[in-house]
Amino acid sequence: MADAVVEFLLTNLKELLLYHADLIYGLKDQVESLHKELSLMKAFLKDSREKRNEFEYVREIVRQITDVAYEAEDIIDTFVANAAMQKRNAIAKMFHAFDNASLLRSVAKQIESIRVKVKDIYDNKMFGIVSMPEREPSRKNLREKRPPVVEETNVVGFDKEAKTIIDRLTQGPEQLEVVSVVGMGGLGKTTLARKVYVDPCIEYHFYLRAWIYVSQEYSRREVFRGILESLGLMNDQMFKMSDDWLGEELCRQLRNNRYLIVIDDVWTTEAWDDIRVAFPNTNLGSRILMTSRNREVALHANPDSRPHNLRFLTDDESWELLCRKTFRKECCPPELEELGKQIARKCYGLPLAIVVISGLLLKREKTRDWWKKVADSVSTYVAKDPKQCMDVLALSYRHLPDHLKVCFIYFGIFPEDFEIPVWKLLRLWVAEGFVQENGQECLEDLGEEYLEDLVDRNLVLVATKSANGRIKTCRIHDMLRDLCVKEGAEQKFLHVIKGRAQNHPMSTSIQSYHRRLCIHSNVLDFISSKPDGRHVRSLLCFVLEETNVPRQHTSFIDEAAFGLVRVLDLRSISFSRFPNEIVHLVHLRFVALFGNFKILPATISNLWNLQTIIIRTSCRELNILADIWKMLQLRHLHTNGISFLHGPPAQTRRNHEDPFVRRNILTISTVSPDSCTENILARTPNLRKLAIRGKLVKLVEEKGGSSSFDVLAKLDRLESLKLTNDAFPLDPSRCLIPGLPQSYKFPPNLKKITLSDTLLDWDHMSTLGMLPNLEVLKLKDYAFKGSHWEPLDGGFRLLRVLQIGRTDLVRWDAKGHHFPRLQRVLFRLCSSLEAIPCGLAEVSVLQSMELYWPKASAATSARLIQRQKLQMQQEMGIVSATFKLLIYPPDV
């Protein structure tokens, strides 16, 4: 974590020197010198990374570096905040000139003190680290490395999984294949592999079998020796041979036999590349069974075969395993059954956690009071035995590259069982500085790659996917979340406030310099305690129920209490007025607020660092007085009410670059049609997501041969467009739009369209069908009207997802060739639709269909399509693929 802290500080200092040198006038030399010293610290941290787990001395120095970096960050940020306040207030600048000079001298002295500390760490202590000998693993220890102890009895929930793996090992092509099992630590990969390895079918099928445990630290020579020893082919002479010789010898021994080698716990692609040469491909049906926490490793070993993703245990399987481990051959007493099931359920399907908690229950007297105590805090009791559980999980964290470590630990800010919206997570990562510039790549795209990497490493779980197949929401296993909270607290990275305020005194967290405060309950206690967060960089509130903040407490986030904050996520708090105090938080990058707001004040424009604004208001409309054209860092503007934007001054100079173009802006949601002018949208050329709500007739009606909609065609980066016809107080039917503009007037790279209350005739679907890149079409309530829809040939060539909401559609005539790429169809409250077109069964890639409150005849036709799809798949020999049909209520 120290690496990340220093890296972020270096980045901030660099930006300060490049873009805001005027704010550190008189301190520039000291800041440059500090930047130089910290760069040396960065190099030191990189060089000492491998020694931190071995030497407490190194860990202590790393802690000191973290403290120094935090102290330097506080001093610089405080000075910048004060300088910014005086700069925007000329009168204050005049009257406080003396104070400013005094502050300047004080800060310079503090920076010099920090430089001395940094130099002391570097000069006096680094020598001791550099001179420390590398602790090489002894030959004896390497030779004795064995797989973790695996009980082959009491295995629960793996019968079907084992059969699947056995079939993949014993069937298929004759050439050598790698079959991989992937999953998070403690999920049972080794247990499953052992169950397969000793199965009689496997023993009969493979003439030679061997097992080798690789893990994070491995030796190529010892891997080859281990396999030869497992095969009974090792002799004393071989202990003197090189790794190349051993690899060639192993290859010779395997060449004329059908063999199975289990390679357990492989962490890197390099590890596989190191040993793969020893496994000959002689077309005898040989197999490698690999286990790994990292999906990338599995795909690298065999790009043509999907890894087997090991699932979590069900609640019933968890309870069965808990009973077997706790009661052995006895039965659970009836008075403990309910509590026992609760304990099992709170292990969230992780076998390792169940085994650890079972061992704890086994050691104590089996009473209701004891089991109730464990049930109330399962994760706490699991964490009390770190050698068995938390250390196993922590291995995955320690193996992460630095840029992913900080992203992973950040998951500790979210409550247990919280389903995290990915769009919000990525904006938070960017605002926190976790995602750094990398050429021309968009920061959010880079952050999405980070998330996918964590998913591939089985540290983050995918909860739901969006219509375009990308991760929509994610979550993290509670045991891993506990790891994040524990590691984050130790590194002063985050502090979770849960429970009564007196149990979490702010003085404790502030004295220990925690950078992020996460409120999970009793938010009013926190606010009324007049918190002092002078060192806090992020204040995040995740209270499930909305909390109304009394007017007298709305000023708790002023610059005196939280003057250095960068992230302010208070969406679960309802403000009775807009908290104007936030306009003085000059370091703010991310703000999310909820309340009865009618205006976003102009003073928000002074927050030059602000990247993301999320405003959820109980008012129908929001007037944005803030001059977003002054906000050079702004990337995302999210509002739920109809927002009115004000454009910059019209461009008067020709042949000059427009000073008001904002290429950073990626999201504008939700704005009125009146705000969709060329003066506004032409200044946001990189806009990706646009939501428009209001009287859409103003947007599409033509005057003088053109309409406001025409400007959208110039947004060639726009991927998502949402149009909601809101004629309040009139009914949408009283403010109909004449039709859709011609297809060439739509943004050229549009991938997703959502329509609501537009009441269009079904004939206008042909316009949408001609959009060349359209992949997702969501027709919400009353988007189209009419009893009959007959699609035209040649449209919807790339459409993958079609959603149809409440409508009066009765008959839909569609064939397979009308939607050749369609994968998912969803019907919601289409109560008049007689039948789902049977032609959809002809769409080979169609994977799922969902019907909510359909007519009985429509449900019957959907079931017929399901039977046809399954029959087609069987005829094509597709065993694993299935067609999913969901009908709600199921008895329709």
DSSP string, 392-425: HHHHHHHTS-HHHHHHHHGGGGSPTT--EEHHHH
Of the candidates 802, 49, 882, the one whose C-alpha atom is nearest the C-alpha of residue 399 is 49
Judgement on whether residues 216 and 233 belong to the same structural domain of the protein: yes
CA distance to 369, 852, 885, per residue, from 867 (Å)? 53, 19, 10
Give bridge partners of residue 851 from the DSSP assignment.
827, 887
Let me know if 109 is exposed, middle or buried by CB neighbors in 10 A (0-12, 13-18, 19+): exposed
Place of tokens 């011609």: 742
Distance CA 621, CA 618 (A): 9
DSSP β-ladder status, 495-497 and 471-475: unpaired
Residue 700 lies in a domain: no
Residue 199 lies in a domain: yes
Of the candidates 327, 314, 382, 308, the one whose C-alpha atom is nearest the C-alpha of residue 352 is 382
Distance CA 754, CA 747 (A): 14
Query: Looking at 106, 130, 154, which one is the last position of a domain?
Result: 130
Helix (H) or strand (E) holding 639: strand 636-644
**pLDDT score, position 441:** 83
- Give the range of the structural domain holding residue 325, as residue numbers without chain letter: 315-383
**pLDDT score, position 506:** 47
Judgement on whether residues 296 and 327 belong to the same structural domain of the protein: no
Judgement on whether residues 529 and 635 belong to the same structural domain of the protein: yes
Distance CA 563, CA 82 (A): 9
Judgement on whether residues 539 and 445 belong to the same structural domain of the protein: no
CA distance to 193, 208, 281, 510, 671, per residue, from 278 (Å)? 21, 14, 10, 56, 63
Residue 813 lies in a domain: no
Residue 773 lies in a domain: no
- Cβ atoms 137, 147 nearer than 8 A: no
Question: Which CATH number goes with the domain that contains 276?
Answer: 3.40.50.300
Residue 817 lies in a domain: no
**pLDDT score, position 500:** 54
Question: Which CATH number goes with the domain that contains 604?
Answer: 3.80.10.10
**pLDDT score, position 103:** 60
**pLDDT score, position 133:** 46
Distance CA 488, CA 483 (A): 8
**pLDDT score, position 643:** 93
Helices (H), 48-188: 56-87, 90-95, 97-120, 126-130, 139-144, 159-170
- What residue type is assigned to position 372 of the chain? K
- Cβ atoms 119, 37 nearer than 8 A: yes
Query: Looking at 291, 309, 327, which one is the last position of a domain?
Result: 309
Distance CA 212, CA 221 (A): 12
Judgement on whether residues 154 and 274 belong to the same structural domain of the protein: yes
How many domains, in total, are found in the chain? 5
Judgement on whether residues 232 and 329 belong to the same structural domain of the protein: no
Query: Measured over all CA atoms, what is the biggest interatomic distance in the chain, rounded to whole angstroms?
Result: 94
Distance CA 824, CA 849 (A): 6
**pLDDT score, position 330:** 82
Distance CA 252, CA 621 (A): 77
Residue 50 lies in a domain: yes
**pLDDT score, position 137:** 43
Distance CA 807, CA 606 (A): 47
Judgement on whether residues 147 and 115 belong to the same structural domain of the protein: no
**pLDDT score, position 798:** 95
**pLDDT score, position 738:** 86
Residue 378 lies in a domain: yes
DSSP, collapsed to helix, strand or coil, labels residue 634 as coil
Q: Which two tokens stand for residue 700?
A: 């599409």
Distance CA 363, CA 381 (A): 13
Judgement on whether residues 414 and 304 belong to the same structural domain of the protein: no
Render the burial of 540-550: b for 16+ CB within 10 Å, e for the rest: bbbbeeebebe
**pLDDT score, position 507:** 43
Judgement on whether residues 146 and 240 belong to the same structural domain of the protein: yes
Residue 737 lies in a domain: no
Beta carbons within 8 Å of 205's beta carbon, 6+ residues apart: 169, 170, 258, 260
Stretches in the chain below the pLDDT threshold 50: 91-98, 127, 130-146, 501-512
**pLDDT score, position 732:** 78
Give bridge partners of residue 872 from the DSSP assignment.
none
- Cβ atoms 274, 219 nearer than 8 A: no
Helix (H) or strand (E) holding 861: helix 856-875
Helices (H), 145-219: 159-170, 189-197, 200-205
Question: Which CATH number goes with the domain that contains 442?
Answer: 1.10.10
Judgement on whether residues 510 and 631 belong to the same structural domain of the protein: yes
Distance CA 776, CA 786 (A): 22
Judgement on whether residues 166 and 121 belong to the same structural domain of the protein: no
- Sheet containing strand 259-264, strands side by side: 208-213, 259-264, 287-292, 177-182, 308-309
In this prediction the pTM is 0.86
Q: Which two tokens stand for residue 309?
A: 């993703």
Judgement on whether residues 243 and 354 belong to the same structural domain of the protein: no
DSSP state letter for 747: -
Query: Looking at 435, 456, 486, which one is the last position of a domain?
Result: 486
